[in-house]
Amino acid sequence: MTSVTCENIVALGGIQRWWYTLNYGFQSRRIAVAVLVISALVILVYLLSTPEEITLWSLLQEKIQGDRVGFVIQVITFLAVSGIWFTELKKEWRDSLEKYLSVSFVYGGKPRIRCRYAPLTGESDIRSMAQSFGQSLNCGGRLPIAPAISRLQWQIEQQQGSREKTSLLNGGKPFLHYDVTVRLTQDITVLCKKEEEGKDRGNREGKTDGRSPLEISSGEFLLWSYPFDPPTEKDVKKHANDRCD
């Protein structure tokens, strides 16, 4: 599998989230939706079979004229219940999404390591996964990170494109992307990189844990993406402001 890039990965807008939420509601509550549709059809058949002077609008007018205050209270109650139901449905849909994690390790306000789109089990695993990134890159040792996460934000994203669905992140379906920033308490200038083929690993100087050192200058950072193959010099990038990079 090739490394994940930010090509065609977009944050879903409000209308798109509404559409996916409603679609999730229809898919997860098919029985309730079927009951509502059948009930609506029964009412429609009843109105069509009654005399012409009896219509849905005439019934509504009769209800308003009979008890305006009660009608207004019922409408407000219906809207409030609908809003609560939709909010809970939206949260349920969001919790059902596959989760991915990106971590930026920063020192002096500048990124030194950027790990992108790692599959995540739950929000409680964010810090332990960030530390596991550090151990993998720091030759098995812990990165010097601050106790607390400096920044945590999330958004619902989707990778779009004409490629095969299997080559897209999460099969091209929406996912929940956590993006966190962790502060380094001291600068990192050397990490572990992929050992060059054909070299004698036992005689290489300066290496640790069976891998050779990967140097990162003050104006660079390491960009490491899923599926997280051992990094090489090609993964060392110049500083950029784009959170994706």
pLDDT in tens, 70-96: 767 878 888 898 899 889 999 999 999
Residue 225 and residue 130 in one domain = yes
Average pLDDT, the chain: 81
The answer as to whether 6 is a domain residue is no
Residue 79 and residue 121 in one domain = no
Strand locations in the chain (E) = 9-11, 98-107, 110-120, 151-159, 175-183, 190-192, 213-215, 220-225, 236-238
Residue 78 and residue 109 in one domain = no
Residue 78 and residue 106 in one domain = no
Residue 50 and residue 169 in one domain = no
Domain that holds residue 52: 14-96
The answer as to whether 8 is a domain residue is no
- Longest Cα separation, the chain: 97
Two tokens, residue 209: 């844990």
Residue 116 and residue 225 in one domain = yes
Residue 126 and residue 19 in one domain = no
Residue 104 and residue 21 in one domain = no
Domains held by the chain: number: 2
Return the DSSP state at 40: H
Residue 24 and residue 65 in one domain = yes
pLDDT by residue, tens only, the chain of 245 residues: 556 666 688 999 999 999 999 999 888 888 887 888 888 888 777 766 666 666 666 767 776 777 777 767 878 888 898 899 889 999 999 999 999 999 999 998 888 999 999 999 988 899 888 888 888 887 767 888 888 888 899 999 999 876 677 778 898 999 999 999 999 999 888 887 655 544 444 444 444 445 567 888 888 898 988 888 888 888 888 866 455 65
Whole-model pTM above 0.75? yes
Upstream peptide bond of 227 is cis (omega within 30 degrees of 0): yes
